[in-house]
Amino acid sequence: MKCKIAYSLFSVFIFLTLCAQKNTDSLRRLMTSAASYDKQIQAALQLIQFYQLKHFDSALETGRYALELTRKNADVQSEALVKHQMGVAHYFSGYYDSAAKNYQESIYTLEKEKADPRKLALVYNDLAKLYRKTRDLDKALSNYGKAEAIFKSVNDTSGIAMILNESGVVYEYKKDYKEAVNRYAASMHLAEKKGDSLSVSYSLSHMAGIFVIEKQYGLAERYLLRSLRIRELLRDSFAMALAYSDLGVTLNAKGDYKRAIEYLEQSNQIAIRLKYPELQSNNYYELSQAATQLGDFRKAYDYYALRTHIRDSLFAIEKTKEIERLNAQYENVRKEQQILAQKQKLKLQNFIIAGILSVMLLGVLLIYSNYKRLTLQKEKAFQQQLLSQQEMNAKAVLEAEENERQRIARDLHDGIGQMMSAAKMNLSAMENEIPFTDEAQKLNFEKVLNMLDDSCKELRNVSHNMTPAVLQKNNLAEALRDFIEKLNLKNIEIRLSAEGMDTKMDSAYETILYRVVQECVHNAIKHSGATRIDISLIKDDDGISGTIEDNGKGFDVKQMHSDSSGVGLKNIMTRIEFLKGELEIDSAPGRGTVISFHIPPKSELQV
């Protein structure tokens, strides 16, 4: 009975093999026939996919033929798909750098050509798998994320399930087993709803791996056997090889070494046929461990020697990675330059006439531009000269005004002031010599002396206000404080706040600002009827800002320009304009007055 069953299974296997062989022969004939290009390239892609996980060398050989076909027909999208399939074959052959090069070139083309997003997502998934293999886990998650985003955008549940499965392995490597199991379970749920049994099998094997880590070997074995049955029904030899290997690893960990050897040998039979060196290496390592535990040290040594031989060849591949990477970069640049040169050559004939016309037009524009530039330069120079002359004139007027003030102040102080002081001294000396007839005469005489004394004080104040000598030895803030103290007003409170004014500035600059504040205070005292005047000065990187605010009766700003009584405010405006500053007056009858100004920082250098 057993012989009949075995014979029947063997017959089915032979039949399927002959069918597959017939199918591949048919595809190969179509690919190399004189059929249309579309039929040829479709046959080539189907053939590569058939060999992809069954015979890597055949997949690469077919891929190279398909690349020549796509390039002859300038079909860049199909070229990208071929490179993707060749990348998969390189990956399973252990040539990771060649795989990465093909994946990157495929992604670049598919993105540039805005091809089917699902095809792009599949390349991102395989590139992520490569980074996962080389333990660059952050890059792996990044590429899985790109693939998942594309699958979600097109509502591809099968693709989402695949990404959940694949990315779960990354979290397993990160030792985040909870997240890994959650992803495997979510993937399996989606795959079951979709009827994707192969994806279900991969979810089962991934979860079994977690159970092995947690030493739940019985549960792991049940999951793996269920996964294997699905793959056997699908006749997926590559997936079956992985399942046999996973069972061998699980049983080794469990201590069931004889059964482990059976599964590992079965896995190796397929891996050798597929030329999958990494899987062979892993299997030989596990076989060596099992033989050692069983005391068969000869076999253990043989297994280990086979594993070492394969690992040496893989190591040789690893050593060439940097060279291949640099070569791939060079090839990419060279190909891009060739493509660019071809495009430029095709466009050159069309651009010759346009180039000549452009040069002629450019020449005319340059001549006109130079003419306009010279004209603007002359106008700018004239305007600059005019502004400079205006500034010099304004400065001269202010300097003349200040000099005249100083002259009058000196005349008042040295001439009239001294004469009045002498008169007061003479009258004081005569006080004891004059015989007063009554007390009233004496009081009148003292009254005259007091009037003369007040006149002397007033004369000194006028002289001081006209030429603030305190500015010559103090900064602006100290000079203003001195000015406020000498006003000595009992009915008006004057408060000064000065920030950043502790250092000396240009003397003309300080004098102009002093005059501005002085004029504002005098106007408030004379005309506003205020009981409080607040002065604020702030100097910072943006220049100098100042406000003079009173609580007086205010005035109509609109009538200021037409009213002769506004001469003082016009003087303030003139001085602020000379410093390239801005002045704002806010007032209305019955609500006081606020005078604000701002002087830019460069004004001090222009004075």
Determine the pLDDT at residue 150.
92
Does pLDDT of 204 surpass 50?
A: yes
pLDDT, one tens digit per residue, over 550-586 is: 999 988 887 765 555 566 777 788 888 888 889 999 9
Percent of the chain with pLDDT over 90: 8
β-strands 532-540, 582-587 pairing: unpaired
In this prediction, residues 483-489 reach a mean pLDDT of 80
Does pLDDT of 239 surpass 90?
A: no
Determine the pLDDT at residue 125.
92
pLDDT, one tens digit per residue, over 404-436 is: 666 665 556 555 656 666 666 677 767 667 777
pLDDT, one tens digit per residue, over 446-465 is: 777 777 776 776 666 666 65
In this prediction, residues 322-335 reach a mean pLDDT of 48
548: pLDDT confidence band, cut at 50, 70 and 90? very high
In this prediction, residues 497-513 reach a mean pLDDT of 82
The whole-chain average pLDDT of the chain stands at 78
Give the integer Cα–Cα distance in Å for 437 and 441: 7
Determine the pLDDT at residue 146.
93
Highest-confidence segment of 127-131, 186-190, 239-243 = 127-131
Determine the pLDDT at residue 550.
93
Does pLDDT of 441 surpass 60?
A: yes
Q: Using DSSP, state whether 594 is helix, strand or coil.
A: strand
* CA proximity to 468, closest of 458, 477, 480: 480
Determine the pLDDT at residue 535.
93
**Geometric angle at alpha carbon 115, from 109 and 118, rounded to 5°:** 110
DSSP labels for 274-285?
HT-HHHHHHHHH
Q: What region does 534 belong to: left with phi over 0, alpha with psi -120 to 50, or beta?
A: beta
End-to-end C-alpha distance for the chain, whole angstroms: 118
Q: Considering only 91-105, 220-234, 327-341, 440-454, which range has the smallest mean pLDDT?
A: 327-341
pLDDT, one tens digit per residue, over 332-389 is: 654 665 677 677 777 777 778 877 888 888 888 888 888 888 888 888 887 777 766 6
Determine the pLDDT at residue 191.
82
Determine the pLDDT at residue 1.
32
In this prediction, residues 323-328 reach a mean pLDDT of 44
Neighbours of 231 (CB within 10 A): 22
CB 97 within 8 A of CB 328: yes
Determine the pLDDT at residue 345.
75
CB 279 within 8 A of CB 302: no
Give the integer Cα–Cα distance in Å for 244 and 262: 9
pLDDT, one tens digit per residue, over 567-577 is: 677 778 888 88
Give the integer Cα–Cα distance in Å for 228 and 248: 12
593: pLDDT confidence band, cut at 50, 70 and 90? very high
86: pLDDT confidence band, cut at 50, 70 and 90? confident
Does pLDDT of 320 surpass 70?
A: no
507: pLDDT confidence band, cut at 50, 70 and 90? confident
Q: Considering only 21-25, 107-111, 563-567, which range has the smallest mean pLDDT?
A: 563-567
594: pLDDT confidence band, cut at 50, 70 and 90? very high
DSSP labels for 533-588?
EEEEEEEETTEEEEEEEE-S----GGGTTT-GGGHHHHHHHHHHHHTT-EEEEEE-
**pTM of the predicted structure, to 2 decimals:** 0.44
21: pLDDT confidence band, cut at 50, 70 and 90? low
Q: Considering only 140-149, 155-164, 503-512, which range has the smallest mean pLDDT?
A: 503-512
In this prediction, residues 63-81 reach a mean pLDDT of 86
Determine the pLDDT at residue 327.
42
HSE of 49, CA atoms in CB hemisphere, 13 A: 9
